[in-house]
Amino acid sequence: MQLFVYPPLSESARALLLQQLPADITATFRQDLPETKQAAAFQQAEVLLGNPPAEWFTTTPPAGLQFWQIDSAGIDRYQQVQTGAQVANIGDFFAWPCAETMVAGILGWYRHIPELAVLQAEKKWVGAPIRLKLGLLRDKRVIILGSGAIGQAVAQQLTGFNCAVRFLARTDPKAQLHSKEELQTALPETDIVVNCLPGSAENFFSAELIDAMHPGSIYASVGRGNTTDEAALLKALQAGRLAGAVLDVTRQEPLPTDNPLWQLPNVLLTQHSGGGQPGEDEGKVDILLRNLHHFQRSEPLENSVQLGRGY
């Protein structure tokens, strides 16, 4: 069988893959090929690791594809892809690090860590006046949008700060909120909103919801940039109607240098780094190898997904 590896892997992860790959599978690495030959190699794939451009499945579809290991949790970009292959995503692999980034950003915002870092770089001692601006994450009222693995990890980490956490999820019976209307009613009594929604929730956090947040509240997002009305968020931040934002994702990535979000002192941009963790590439390889084992034995895959439904 022919394996096409789309993501660039570290040398250690590549060695791990080649060492443990079943003998009947040959690996082709995109990073080894000139750009002009990558799509053609993809076309020959029977096993696929990674997230190639969705248009490749239309222009150069791999007719013999049997198993596809997506290396992200989100699969919404592939909802229109037609394939007879078995497909799995990466499950909760990124959940805990993404949650740590959100909690670190929120805590850092309350404790003015970004400002202090800038002052340190400028060798400016301000001291006492900063103490008067510091807030506490303790006892804050939080709504988490989405009750999946990332949202659950955020909630678990916030228990140490005694936060009152509620979830919004359309179909999860354990969530406290299930509609935009219920969310809009709850927002005036909420200190922090953490968006963990998938990309299929286009513009879910709309201007109306942003307007419903009370002055002094903050917005954090680690799901997908397209789930937020970014123009409305920017206006609310510039006008001071929102106190601040922690954004791991934005609508356009990389964020253009002329985007005003770069200049706002009340915004912390973590540049879609939230899932970063030690051995990230090796972890992806481990997941692929485990699922290859299941696939070759006709066993259920870990984190099997259906592209058309988006999960």
Which residues, given as ranges, of the chain have pLDDT below 50? Answer: none
Which part of the chain has CATH 3.40.50.720?
A: 2-93+278-309, 95-269
Distance CA 63, CA 88 (A): 18
Check: CB of residue 67 under 8 Å from CB of residue 25.
no
Query: What are the pLDDT digits (tens) for 16-73?
Result: 999 999 999 999 999 999 999 999 999 999 999 999 999 999 999 999 999 999 999 9
DSSP string, 151-178: HHHHHHHHGGGT-EEEEE-SS-TT-SB-
* The CATH number, out of the four listed (3.40.50.300, 3.40.50.720, 1.20.120.450, 3.20.20.100), of the domain defined by the range 95-269: 3.40.50.720
Place of tokens 């609508």: 251
CB 19: neighbour CB atoms within 10 A?
Answer: 9
Model confidence, pTM: 0.93
The residue among 189, 142, 183 whose CA lies nearest residue 163 is 142
- Is 253 designated active site? yes
- Is 182 designated active site? no
The 3 state secondary structure assigned to 190-202 is CCEEEECCCCCCC
At 311 the pLDDT is 80
Q: Considering only the top CATH level, what class is 2-93+278-309?
A: alpha beta
CB 192: neighbour CB atoms within 10 A?
Answer: 25
Distance CA 62, CA 68 (A): 11
Q: Which one from 272, 290, 293, 294 is the annotated catalytic residue?
A: 272
- State both tokens at 286: 């481990």
Sheet of 244-247: strand order equals 164-168, 141-145, 192-195, 218-221, 244-247, 267-269
- State both tokens at 284: 């992806």
What backbone torsions phi and psi does residue 306 show, to the nearest 5 degrees?
-115, 115
Beta bridge partners of 161: none
Q: Which one from 189, 202, 208, 253 is the annotated catalytic residue?
A: 253
Tell me the pairing of strands 26-29 and 267-269. Answer: unpaired
- Is 224 designated active site? yes
Q: Which one from 14, 30, 224, 230 is the annotated catalytic residue?
A: 224
